[in-house]
Amino acid sequence: MGKFLFWAVVILGALFAARLLAAHNRKNNTPPAAPPTRPDGSAAVNGNDANAEPMVRCAHCGIHMPRSEAVLSDGKTWCSTEHAKLGLRQ
β-pairing verdict for 71-73 and 76-78 = antiparallel
Q: 15 or 69: whose CB is closer to Zn ion?
A: 69
Selected range binding Zn ion among 7-15, 20-28, 34-42, 55-63, rule: CB under 5 A: 55-63
What is the Cα–Cα distance from 65 to 53, expressed in whole angstroms?
10
What is the Cα–Cα distance from 88 to 90, expressed in whole angstroms?
6
Selected range binding Zn ion among 28-36, 40-48, 52-60, 65-73, rule: CB under 5 A: 52-60
User: What values do phi and psi take at 66, rounded to 5?
Assistant: -60, 145
> Least separation, in Å, of the C-beta of 51 and Zn ion?
20
Q: Which of residues 62-81 bind Zn ion (CB under 5 A)?
A: 79
The yes or no reply on residue 56 touching Zn ion (CB under 5 A) is no
What is the Cα–Cα distance from 37 to 32, expressed in whole angstroms?
14
By the criterion CB under 5 A, which residues form the site for Zn ion? 58, 60-61, 79, 83
